[in-house]
Structure 1
Amino acid sequence: MAKSVSANIVIIGSGISGVAAAHRLLNAGFQHVRILEATARSGGRIKTGKLGDNIVEIGANWIHGPCEENPVFCLARKYGLLDPESLTPENQAMDVGGHPPWVPNYYTSSGQKLNAEDMNPAKEMFAELLIESSEFQSQGGEPCASVGDFIRSEMHQRAAEKWKETDATTRSLRLCAITNMLKVECCVNGSHSMDEVGLGAFGLYETLPGLDCTFPGGYEGLIKNLMSELPTGLVTYNQPVHCVHWNNTEKKQNPVIIECDAGERIAADHVIVTVPLGYLKKHHSALFRPPLPLHKLHSVQRLGFGTNNKIFVEFDSPWWDADCEVIYLLWEDEDVMLDEVPDVQRSWIKKLFGFTVLKPTERYGHVLCGWIAGHESEYMETVSEQEVTQNVTQLIRRFTGNPTITPRRILRSQWFHDPWTCGSYSYPGKGCSVQDLENMMEPLPTKGSQAHPLQVLFAGEATHPCYYSTVHGALLTGWREADRLISHYSSISPSELHKSKL
């Protein structure tokens, strides 16, 4: 690799993948790198906020699989951003398969607290079915189109066989628990319903070992540390991009022109597009001239991108058990195993599966994080904060049977109505395959073209073949596209490099 490379590289988006790409390129000797960011901040879907005095995560919450292979974990450790227990070898060795073994409390809509052991058979059966759902990817020949369809059809059969001796009330409650677990999976996958998640591609997602951990000082600390190592002024904030003109034949030396909303036109050799898939789905036709090739566009459409929002709720004192880590709310009229609410405007709160407990209590006080996905979550964003508070208060009073519980304050995320993200993260939709993820990361112009190579490159969580929807996936794709350019320039001899710049 030449000591310094004078190629002009523009990165669209200052989320973790854009920042990671810039880092890598600068370290490899590229001198002309800049990031264009539509908003006033770096970090994208990594966003830390405050609830009273508490630090809470509006966006990315955990390091999923904190182990040596996870670059987010390694960077967080390097910058000293983690708790000592997150760094222990025992913590890194725990393989939870993406579902941490949290201590649950179960409450029902008639105000009963259930014995968690009674729900274990449902939990185990659901866990088995999730594992089975992910096995079709390697074999093919899946029996139905979606994960939701598969789980429901199998549950009906297995519950009838295995629980025939169980009394009707317990059996019904277990089916309500399955409905709740489907809602949990909607949050995990960022989908409206598990009926929208493709069964054939569900197993493409891979987990890393390690018990998920959080950042005591907030996830944004990672972004701040990375940004502090970049030259000042590298990012231009409040600079939305209107259009990427590629395959520009008039100026041989700059095949890409980036036209900004404010009217500025920036000539570049390469552009790395790191915008969220939600934004791409909505704006691809205006964003690229010429348009995206058809196969790439079809993959953008086939991949799913949904909404998962949080509602943080603070209380004066806890109403859950001291060792409790997650609270599940079971509606007793939901034994039909459907994860969608029939009347979104009147019953959106029924999609909220429950709460995770923010730990340790010494740090957070008594704060719960409610989780809600899908169209109900999108609707939740549109109602007033007062209405959200009212709904959450009524919900908790109903499920605990305690009419005096009153939240001190709440804070919610609103990712669907964020104009630059249009949702939360990606998942493989129905009919999706590994080919779609390969199409997502394919640079333009496509192979075989005689045009100037690697004009438009694509990074971001939705372009990772097995870590989509994660921060480490996003970071790795930023490195991947930077490496693609680095190896392109290392394979060019210095004389050719000189000519290409004349």
Structure 2
Amino acid sequence: MQSSGRQAEAPGRGPRVLVVGGGIAGLGAAQRLCCHPAFPHLRVLEATARAGGRIRSERSFGGVVEVGAHWIHGPSQGNPVFQLAAKYGLLGEKALSEENQLIETGGHVGLPSVSYASSGGSVSPELVAEMARLFYSLIDQTREFLHAAEIPAPSVGEYLKKEIRQHMAGWTEEEETKRLKLAILNNLFNVECCVSGTHSMDLVALSPFGEYTVLPGLDCTFPGGYQGLTDRIMASLPKDVMVFNKPVKTIHWDGSFEEASAPGETFPVLVECEDGGCFPAHHVVVTVPLGFLKERLDTFFEPPLPTEKAEAIRKIGFGTNNKIFLEFEEPFWQPDCQHIQVVWRDTSPLEDTAPKLQDAWFKKLVGFWVLPSFGESPAPRAQECAEVPLAQCPIHPGLLQLRGRGQLRGRPGPAGPAPPCGRQGCPAPGPVCRGSHTPDVLLHHARSSAVRLEGG
């Protein structure tokens, strides 16, 4: 195969290395390799027109909206993301404080500022705190079976449900309060599903659950946007390293390829792009998303990968966490509110018969994270506006209108009322990013306050 890619460097001046994928993994690999004198000839092939992958900070709405990665979990010295963010001066004073770095959270999400039931009324903070203490004490117990000879249940979900049934035997409240307790616990189950990246805790094995290590530090965000991290890493690379709009079709490896501009030299790898361009190399670092590998495994490598590697790609799983952004003309929450928990009264973690996901997907949303007010933002065009009255309180009507949207990943959904927002401001996921944190829906309404819903 003749190369129609970049001209080869003169032979004998060091190996040529290609990094496939310009997300955080590819950028990190490139940064490390660029600092090493043994790898002077490096290129990063990125399929899209931008670097960063799932890290994307949207600013077209007047403020920072994190379409992908949002938090630094465990911001302390043991966290490489925190170290990079601190090095580049991307964090606030509180996040950088030694006091914040030493806080032990145990991996438990903090209590919400306010909780609403699906009927619209607020839920007693004391009752929420009581159920949170119960739930997280049980979660802590599930981590104790890491090296146990025998385990009491095959999955985390089954263990939690068994323990909750035992606790229920001691509840003395009226039936309505008991049902509300179960609804609160169901929301906490959804939060844990989101943290674990799973549809159900019944799919998470109990025995290895304690392997997960929680770093100290209170979770924090990037005031200027998470994308500042990937922008700074990319800025540290030589200008000719990144090659954009170069989706890779096939990686030909374990061969002997020549290039006209480098007579007498052979390369064991040749990366063929969708546009017909070819890049010969001595080494290739593949950093494409796992979902992309699963989808293209049969055609992406030539010859096929060894059986054990192919089986590993097929068997490794990943969760799906997606976000929906809403803006309201007027906030219905208090100024100091940071998180709004939604408690669906008709739900219980003990019910095995779940409704169809297409009919009840919104009940998997774990709550609203309140974003800072964006102030004045450009009004959408008339044809993009949807005149939908929003209740100042409760939350429930807004979520019901989301149900009618039904257009995740561009698929038309069932007929229903219009969404409580003016326009879809974010394109559907592209063909490259597969899996968690895909920007399925980003909704916007002019001159308003924003909340972010997140669910597994």
* In structure 1, C-alpha distance between the alignment counterparts of 2:277 and 2:322, rounded to whole Å: 35
Q: What's the TM-score, normalizing by structure 1?
A: 0.71
Q: 1:488 maps to which residue?
A: none
Letter in 1 for 2:359: R
1:289-438 aligned within 5 A: 289-337=302-350, 342-359=355-372, 380-382=408-410, 390=418, 393=420, 417-424=429-436
User: Does the 8 A contact of 1:54 with 1:364 survive in 2?
Assistant: no
* Structure 1 pair 141–297 and aligned structure 2 pair: CA distance change class (3 A): farther
Q: 1:462 maps to which residue?
A: none
* In structure 2, C-alpha distance between the alignment counterparts of 1:133 and 1:388, rounded to whole Å: 42
RMSD of equivalent CA atoms: 3.3
* In structure 2, C-alpha distance between the alignment counterparts of 1:408 and 1:386, rounded to whole Å: 19
Letter in 1 for 2:301: F
* Structure 1 pair 91–387 and aligned structure 2 pair: CA distance change class (3 A): farther
Q: 2:272 maps to which residue?
A: 259
Deviation string 1:83-132 (CA, Å, 9 cap, x unpaired) is: 11111111111121233424431111222211111122221121122222
Letter in 1 for 2:220: C
1:54-453 aligned within 5 A: 54-139=63-148, 141-160=150-169, 162-163=170-171, 165-248=172-255, 253-337=266-350, 342-359=355-372, 380-382=408-410, 390=418, 393=420, 417-424=429-436
Is the partner of 2:318 in helix, strand or coil?
Answer: strand
Is the partner of 2:221 in helix, strand or coil?
Answer: coil
Q: 2:16 maps to which residue?
A: 8
* In structure 1, C-alpha distance between the alignment counterparts of 2:296 and 2:122, rounded to whole Å: 47
* Structure 1 pair 343–413 and aligned structure 2 pair: CA distance change class (3 A): farther
Letter in 1 for 2:42: V
* In structure 1, C-alpha distance between the alignment counterparts of 2:237 and 2:432, rounded to whole Å: 23
* Structure 1 pair 313–362 and aligned structure 2 pair: CA distance change class (3 A): closer
Q: Alignment identity in percent?
A: 41
* Structure 1 pair 291–322 and aligned structure 2 pair: CA distance change class (3 A): same
Of stretches 201-210 and 269-278 in structure 1, the one that deviates more from structure 2 is: 201-210
Letter in 1 for 2:160: I
Q: What's the TM-score, normalizing by structure 2?
A: 0.78
Matched, 1:52 2:61: yes
* In structure 2, C-alpha distance between the alignment counterparts of 1:109 and 1:283, rounded to whole Å: 42
* In structure 2, C-alpha distance between the alignment counterparts of 1:335 and 1:67, rounded to whole Å: 36
* In structure 2, C-alpha distance between the alignment counterparts of 1:217 and 1:309, rounded to whole Å: 22
* In structure 2, C-alpha distance between the alignment counterparts of 1:253 and 1:350, rounded to whole Å: 57
* In structure 1, C-alpha distance between the alignment counterparts of 2:23 and 2:134, rounded to whole Å: 38
* In structure 2, C-alpha distance between the alignment counterparts of 1:114 and 1:409, rounded to whole Å: 32
Q: 1:438 maps to which residue?
A: none
How many residue pairs are counted as aligned between the two chains?
A: 398
| Structure 2 portions without partners, runs of 5+ | 1-11, 259-264, 378-391, 439-456
* Structure 1 pair 5–209 and aligned structure 2 pair: CA distance change class (3 A): farther
* Structure 1 pair 338–300 and aligned structure 2 pair: CA distance change class (3 A): farther
Q: 1:411 Cα shift?
A: 5.7
